[in-house]
Amino acid sequence: MPKSTSKAVKITLNGEEREVPAGLTIRDLLAHLDLHERLVVVERNKEIIRRNRYAEVPVDAGDTLELVHFVGGG
C-alpha cells in the first residue's frame, strides 16, 4: 500500500491533470483508484508497463499515465 506521506504529486491521468499521494507505485495507484490490476493496461510516459512490474515502478510528479480498461461483454 502507499507509503505514509501527506504530500501529493501532480500527474496527467488519461489526459486530465490530477493530484495523487506521493510515493505510490503503479500497483498502489491502481488500488487508490479502486481498479483491479488484471483488468487494466498501464502506459507510463509512452511506455507500456508489464503487469509483473506494477509493484516496483514508481509514480513520479509530472508522469503521464494512460489506463486502458478491459470490459467484458456478450
pTM: predicted TM-score of the whole model, two decimal places: 0.85
Which residue intervals of the chain are DSSP H helices?
26-32
- The C-alpha atoms of residue 22 and residue 62 are separated, in whole angstroms, by 12
How many residues comprise the chain? 74
- According to the model, what pLDDT value does residue 3 have? 52
Please give the grid coordinates belonging to residue 41.
493496461
Question: Nearest 5°: phi and psi at 31?
Answer: -65, -40
User: Which amino acid, one-letter code, is at 70?
Assistant: F
- The per-residue DSSP string of 38-50 comes to GGEEEEETTEEEP
Domain limits of the chain? Answer: 8-69
CATH class of 8-69: alpha beta
- According to the model, what pLDDT value does residue 69 have? 87
In the chain, which residues have pLDDT < 50? 4
- The C-alpha atoms of residue 74 and residue 71 are separated, in whole angstroms, by 10
Could you report the per-residue pLDDT of 46-66, keeping only the tens digit for each?
999 999 999 999 999 999 999
